[in-house]
């Protein structure tokens, strides 16, 4: 027999109307999770008020003080008590909850903050007298005069003092401060024309500025690029592609980094819907789909994407914190993001991120070297004698690498082309090419893997991948589960030029392979395909699955490490890279080449 539940009265339950203080504390649990949530609500109010400069000051990670000062439109003395009432707002009239153009609209933030902490608001509207109001633990004071030039100043002290249980869930001052910095940075990305300053005023010393950006000028893309360079770093700004696309009234703008500028986690992914920072599974999934052709599963792209649409196409009233949204047509949004990003990445051609070269130089750079003037560089009074020129071709016999030189077959010198002229092959894997301004180092296997993959995709899109029949079918023994997985996908694999048939228990017969691959190890290729089919079991579309399998197949048809190449082959590879989209990275997002400028090389040797 079950025991009576201790938290439920055995008498008839009585329905009670909670008082305003209890209601506000309950609402605060949803709206204000931590000090960073309070900062977010107050800064969003300042932006909605038309502020152009916002100053945020916090102490002890926001636990003892949060102060937000803005130069916005301000409030009148009569507005202050109303602003602290639940569901009182100037941003909507309540007639249409789908027509929302501001950050805030629920009218919950200020009364919730006043219910859990000591809140003070001083404000002055244009042509009005300054006024101040205070509320502590839900108890509101009378409005008093205040000296204020304009705008609004909000102070929140001792957050959660009225709800001590919440204090036990607070993290360290450092962790709470970092969360506040992240919130302010996201809002600063959304508003490049607004200046932000965040300072830590803990203790008696000078305030420590944690984040500061000035208001940007110029058109939207210029302003946004400048703001992202300050927040996400110069490397991101230098290696990001501008995104500008529109479909059926929905606009996507922002910047997306090249695949070779990827991260080990999703910390550099920022999404905004009608300027509101959001974390949405649909947007994250669309981003992964757009980069699935270029990055392995353990790498994550870096982006700052801004989705703009009519308010009636998106519901921002999903959660009190307003960090989640719901789209009326999610398929349209996903398709716009995937197509826009893939188009921009294709237009980037063979470009790879500049950080690759920077990292290479950092590895090679000697410590503490000072520029020197060597004896050979000094003016000499001794007559000089011209030594016979000896190029790589003449020196080839003394080196282990195969080195050949050929005359350019076209009128334009190869050195003037983006990837230059092949000069050497090192360790039978790396091609060294010379350009007018430096040198290029190419990973021949990674580069050719991408080229084969792009050719396979083109063939499949046009007429299906051409197959070549094996004179003697190759029998591959595998587990029964792997065989079943392959045979289940046999129809799709046939489109890729791979023909399979069952061959008894635990074996399959390979009768045809993709012609473009030439002679391949069928067993190794099939095991890679099984891995891809297993890992990609949740892929959303058949096309995504096929392209993922094609990526694995392309690796088996690429120039292998250790193969010596003639100069003609090396130059042909460079020319094809220049003409092929996405050739700056292999199928897994690693760079296919590194470009070193001559000026950087000279600095390595102290010649500048």
Six-digit token string for 350? 């063979």
pLDDT beyond 90 at 110: no
Percentage of the chain exceeding pLDDT 70: 76
CA pair distance 104, 218, nearest whole angstrom: 27
> pLDDT tens digits, residue range 144-180?
998 888 899 999 999 988 778 777 888 899 999 999 9
Chain mean pLDDT for the chain: 80
> pLDDT tens digits, residue range 396-452?
333 333 333 444 445 678 888 989 999 999 988 899 999 998 999 999 888 888 888
Percentage of the chain exceeding pLDDT 90: 30
Q: What is the pLDDT of residue 383?
A: 40
pLDDT beyond 80 at 226: yes
pLDDT category at 539 given cuts 50, 70, 90 is very low
Six-digit token string for 588? 């897994």
What does the DSSP assignment read for 382-419? SPP-PPPP--HHHHGGGSSS-------SSSS-GGGSTT
Q: What three-state secondary structure class fits 391? A: coil
pLDDT beyond 70 at 541: no
What is the CATH topology of the domain spanning 392-608?
A: Ribosomal Protein S8; Chain: A, domain 1 (3.30.1370)
Where along the chain do the CATH 3.30.1370.100 domains lie? 392-608
- Residue 434 in contact with residue 424, Cβ under 8 Å? no
Q: What is the pLDDT of residue 378?
A: 43
Please give the average per-residue pLDDT across 538-555, as a whole number: 60
pLDDT beyond 50 at 464: yes
Please provide residue 354's backbone torsions phi and psi, each rounded to the nearest 5 degrees: -70, -20
pLDDT beyond 70 at 240: yes
- Residue 596 in contact with residue 439, Cβ under 8 Å? yes
Q: What is the pLDDT of residue 134?
A: 92
Between these two residues, 412 and 557, which has the higher pLDDT value?
A: 412
Q: What is the pLDDT of residue 93?
A: 46
Six-digit token string for 603? 């600095």
Q: What is the pLDDT of residue 374?
A: 42
Cα torsion at 575, 581, 583, 586 (round to 10°)?
-150
- Closest CA relative to residue 97, chosen from 332, 306, 321, 318: 318
pLDDT beyond 50 at 597: yes
pLDDT category at 191 given cuts 50, 70, 90 is very high
Please give the average per-residue pLDDT across 243-263, as a whole number: 92
pLDDT category at 395 given cuts 50, 70, 90 is very low
Where along the chain do the CATH 3.30.230.10 domains lie? 220-347
Q: What is the pLDDT of residue 602?
A: 84
- Closest CA relative to residue 196, chosen from 300, 70, 107, 75: 70
- Residue 219 in contact with residue 261, Cβ under 8 Å? no
pLDDT beyond 50 at 579: yes
pLDDT beyond 70 at 381: no
Between these two residues, 375 and 499, which has the higher pLDDT value?
A: 499
pLDDT beyond 90 at 515: no
Please give the average per-residue pLDDT across 370-379, as a whole number: 44
Check residue 156 and report its DSSP letter.
E
> pLDDT tens digits, residue range 263-319?
888 899 999 998 888 888 889 989 988 888 888 777 899 999 999 998 888 887 666
Q: What is the pLDDT of residue 175?
A: 93
- Among 281-295, 363-377, 571-585, whose mean pLDDT is lowest? 363-377
Q: What is the pLDDT of residue 384?
A: 36
Strand partners, 348: none
| Pairing, β 269-273 against β 303-308 | parallel
Q: What is the pLDDT of residue 462?
A: 78
Between these two residues, 587 and 593, which has the higher pLDDT value?
A: 593
Please give the average per-residue pLDDT across 470-475, as a whole number: 89
- Residue 325 in contact with residue 273, Cβ under 8 Å? yes
Please give the average per-residue pLDDT across 458-469, as a whole number: 79
- Closest CA relative to residue 353, chosen from 604, 74, 595: 595
> pLDDT tens digits, residue range 22-66?
665 555 555 678 899 899 989 988 998 899 999 999 999 999 999
Q: Say how many Å lie between the first and final Cα of the chain, rounded.
A: 89
Displacement of CA 88 from its chain's centroid (Å): 37
> In CATH, what number does 20-213 get?
3.30.565.10
Please provide residue 496's backbone torsions phi and psi, each rounded to the nearest 5 degrees: -90, 5
- Domain 220-347 top-level CATH class: alpha beta
pLDDT category at 371 given cuts 50, 70, 90 is very low
């Amino acid at each position: 027999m079950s025991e009576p539940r201790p938290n439920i009265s055995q008498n008839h339950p009585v329905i009670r109307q909670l008082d305003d203080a209890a209601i506000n504390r309950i609402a605060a649990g949803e709206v204000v999770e931590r000090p960073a949530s309070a900062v977010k609500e107050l800064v969003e109010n300042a932006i909605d008020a038309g502020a152009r400069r916002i100053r945020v000051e916090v102490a002890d990670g926001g636990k003892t003080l949060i102060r937000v000062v803005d130069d916005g439109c301000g409030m009148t003395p009569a507005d202050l008590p109303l602003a602290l009432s639940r569901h009182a707002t100037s941003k909507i009239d309540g007639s249409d909850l789908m027509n929302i153009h501001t950050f805030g609209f629920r009218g919950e933030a200020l009364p919730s903050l006043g219910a859990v902490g000591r809140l003070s608001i001083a404000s002055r509207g244009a042509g009005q007298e300054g006024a101040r109001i205070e509320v502590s633990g839900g108890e509101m004071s009378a409005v008093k005069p205040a000296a204020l030039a304009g705008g609004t100043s909000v102070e929140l002290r001792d957050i959660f003092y009225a709800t001590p249980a919440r204090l036990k869930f607070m993290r360290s001052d450092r962790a709470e401060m970092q969360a506040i910095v992240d919130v302010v940075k996201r809002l600063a990305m959304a508003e490049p024309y607004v200046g932000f300053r965040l300072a830590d005023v803990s203790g008696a010393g000078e305030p420590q500025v944690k984040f500061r950006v000035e208001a940007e000028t110029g058109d939207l893309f210029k302003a946004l690029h400048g703001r992202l360079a300050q927040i996400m770093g110069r490397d991101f700004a230098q290696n990001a592609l501008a995104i500008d696309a529109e479909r059926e009234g929905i606009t996507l703008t922002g910047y997306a980094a090249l695949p070779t500028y990827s991260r080990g986690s999703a910390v550099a992914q920022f999404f905004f819907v009608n300027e509101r920072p959001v974390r949405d599974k649909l947007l994250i999934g669309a981003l992964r789909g757009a980069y699935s052709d270029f990055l392995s599963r353990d790498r994550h792209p870096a982006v700052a994407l801004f989705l703009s649409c009519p308010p009636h196409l998106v519901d921002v009233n999903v959660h009190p914190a307003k960090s989640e949204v719901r789209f009326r047509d999610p398929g349209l949004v996903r398709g716009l993001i995937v197509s826009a990003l893939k188009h921009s990445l294709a237009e980037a051609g063979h470009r790879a991120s500049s950080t690759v070269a920077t990292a290479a130089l950092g590895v090679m750079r000697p410590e503490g070297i000072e520029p020197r003037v060597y004896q050979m560089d000094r003016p000499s009074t001794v007559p000089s004698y011209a030594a016979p020129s000896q190029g790589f071709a003449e020196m080839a016999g003394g080196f282990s690498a195969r080195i050949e030189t050929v005359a350019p077959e076209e009128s334009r010198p190869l050195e003037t082309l983006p990837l230059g002229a092949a000069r050497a092959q090192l360790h039978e894997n790396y091609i060294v090419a010379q350009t007018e301004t430096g040198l290029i180092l190419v990973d021949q296997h990674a580069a050719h893997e991408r080229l084969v993959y792009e050719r396979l995709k083109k063939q499949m899109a046009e007429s299906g991948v051409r197959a070549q029949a094996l004179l003697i079918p190759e029998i591959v023994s595998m587990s029964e589960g792997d065989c079943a997985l392959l045979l289940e996908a046999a129809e799709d694999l046939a489109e890729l030029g791979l023909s399979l048939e069952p061959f008894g228990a635990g074996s399959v017969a390979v009768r045809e392979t993709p012609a473009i691959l030439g002679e391949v190890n069928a067993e190794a290729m099939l095991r890679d395909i099984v891995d891809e089919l297993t890992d990609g079991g949740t892929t959303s579309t058949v096309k995504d699955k096929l392209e993922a399998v094609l990526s694995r197949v392309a690796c088996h048809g690429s120039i292998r490490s250790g193969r010596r190449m003639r100069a003609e082959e090396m130059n042909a590879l460079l020319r094809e890279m220049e003409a092929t989209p996405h050739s700056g990275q292999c199928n897994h997002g690693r760079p296919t080449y590194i470009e070193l400028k001559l000026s950087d090389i000279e600095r390595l040797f102290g010649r500048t």
